[in-house]
Amino acid sequence: MNGLYSFVQLFVLSFVAGLPITAEVPPQERSAIDRIIGAKGSYAPDDAAYKLVLPREAATIVQDYQTLSPNFGLNSWVTFSSAIHHPATMNGEFLLLDDEVNPVLSAALDAGLDVTGLAASSIFDGPRLYTLNVSGRGSFQTLASAFRKGLDEVRRVRRSSAAQHHTSRRPSLQIESAIDGRPLDAILSMSGSTAGGVYRAAIGKRAMLNGELIGREMGISTWVSFGGTDNRAVVHGEFVETPDDLQKVLKAMTARGLNIESIRNHTAAEHPQFISIHYWVKGPAIDVAKSIRYVLDIEVGAITPGARL
């Protein structure tokens, strides 16, 4: 057994040693990145990576009289490296306030970046914070410009905010609901159920996990719930998507005004991999159902982006 383990170790080390060494980020590219982003980065020779850390003062205010150090990790960041199949690769993370999430997410997608994760990041009293993860491949300057568009969107949102401190846009909880599910079934092409005036419907997908087939009741499902009234509905749900479909579904959701709340995994090591996108939206129930139908049609390729229902 020990001999086999040693052989595997030697094989892995030999494989890693045979991989191409990543080239350094040229000094002229570092200068261009600094200029585009508007900040000074630092180079890590061991990783051949150039990183910029961007503290967010607006996100560090816990109370009116207390500001936390950005050393708590309350910052945005972006890192650039040379790549093998492209001139450069980039990974980054935006630290965002609640009202900045969907505008910055849309800006990142429009700039050609991949959005790979969204999660709540608040552990202290104070504003609600989120981390939005992005990645990209291309030239150094193109990637820096794409990330800068997200930063510019943060500034735009903050300038247009009437209040000094953000007030959440989240919908208020309605105690009583009276949703008519029949027209929603027709629009969504689902067979939902209504209980207590709340409509809920789901579509299951299939995956293999630990050698076993799992589906809708194990959490591999696209689902939606409508509460409130037909004219003033509050809706939330999840789309479950493979990595191949994730970006086009995110673009479709933002195009139809669905507020994206999180992008995360429910399970690990399933095949195919499924990523869950949680969202909320409010409005007339039929209008919201049409928006959700649009995203579902984009997902399966029934319509092209920009098509009207």
Residues 296 and 195 in one domain: yes
Residues 195 and 131 in one domain: no
Residue 31's CB is within 10 A of a number of other CB atoms, namely: 12
Which has more confidence, 61 or 212?
Answer: 212
Residues 156 and 186 in one domain: no
In a domain, 12, yes or no: no
Residues 149 and 232 in one domain: no
DSSP assignment letter at 65:
T
Residues 190 and 293: their CA atoms lie apart, in Å, by: 10
Q: How many domains does the chain have?
A: 2
In a domain, 1, yes or no: no
Cβ–Cβ < 8 Å for 239, 262: no
| Residue-level pLDDT at 266 | 85
Residues 106 and 202 in one domain: no
| Residue-level pLDDT at 130 | 92
* Average pLDDT of the chain to the nearest whole number: 86
For position 144, which CATH number holds?
3.30.1460
Residues 43 and 107 in one domain: yes
Q: What is the pLDDT of residues 143-163, one digit of tens each?
A: 999 999 999 999 999 888 754
In a domain, 5, yes or no: no
Residues 198 and 226: their CA atoms lie apart, in Å, by: 6
| Residue-level pLDDT at 154 | 94
Q: What is the pLDDT of residues 20-39, one digit of tens each?
A: 556 899 999 999 999 999 99
Range among 37-51, 63-77, 162-176 with highest mean pLDDT value: 37-51
User: Of 206, 232, 230, 210, which Cα lies nearest the Cα of 219?
Assistant: 206
For position 273, which CATH number holds?
3.30.70
Cβ–Cβ < 8 Å for 7, 30: no
Percent of the chain with pLDDT over 70: 80
Residues 6 and 17: their CA atoms lie apart, in Å, by: 16
Taken as a whole, the chain contains a residue count of 309
| Residue-level pLDDT at 277 | 97
Residues 149 and 203 in one domain: no
Residues 31 and 150 in one domain: yes
- Residues 131-138: what's their mean pLDDT? 96
What range does the domain containing 276 cover? 182-300
Indicate the pairing of strand 275-283 with strand 259-264. antiparallel
In a domain, 62, yes or no: yes
Q: Residue 190 corresponds to which tokens in the numbers above? A: 């689902």
Amino acid letter, residue 252: A
| Residue-level pLDDT at 281 | 95
| Residue-level pLDDT at 217 | 82
| Residue-level pLDDT at 176 | 82
In a domain, 90, yes or no: yes
| Residue-level pLDDT at 11 | 45
Indicate whether 164 pLDDT > 50.
no
- Residues 249-267: what's their mean pLDDT? 95
Q: Calculate the dihedral angle through the C-alpha atoms of 176, 182, 188, 191, rounding to the nearest 10 degrees.
A: 100
Beta bridge partners of 202: 223
* CB neighbour list of residue 14: distance below 8 Å, 6 or more residues apart: none
- pTM for the full predicted model: 0.83
Indicate whether 133 pLDDT > 90.
yes
Residues 156 and 198 in one domain: no
Indicate whether 225 pLDDT > 60.
yes
Q: What is the pLDDT of residues 170-205, one digit of tens each?
A: 677 666 889 999 999 999 999 999 999 999 999 999
Assign 274 to helix, strand or coil. Answer: coil
| Residue-level pLDDT at 240 | 96
Indicate whether 58 pLDDT > 70.
no
In a domain, 149, yes or no: yes
Residues 22 and 155 in one domain: yes
Residues 19 and 48: their CA atoms lie apart, in Å, by: 15
User: Of 288, 224, 229, which Cα lies nearest the Cα of 257?
Assistant: 288
DSSP assignment letter at 171:
P
Single out the residue in 113, 130, 160 at which a domain terminates: 160
Cβ–Cβ < 8 Å for 256, 303: no
Confidence of residue 41 (pLDDT cuts 50, 70, 90): very high
Query: ω into residue 272 within 30 of 0, thus cis?
Result: yes
User: Of 283, 53, 34, 62, which Cα lies nearest the Cα of 144?
Assistant: 34
In a domain, 252, yes or no: yes
DSSP assignment letter at 46:
T
Indicate whether 167 pLDDT > 80.
no
| Residue-level pLDDT at 222 | 95
Q: Residue 85 corresponds to which tokens in the numbers above? A: 């199949």
Helical (H) or strand (E) element with 204:
strand 198-204
- To which residue do tokens 């609640």 refer? 98
Assign 302 to helix, strand or coil. Answer: coil
Residues 156 and 24 in one domain: yes
DSSP string, 47-60: TTEEEEEEE-GGGS
Residues 148 and 210 in one domain: no
Amino acid letter, residue 226: F
In a domain, 215, yes or no: yes
| Residue-level pLDDT at 139 | 97
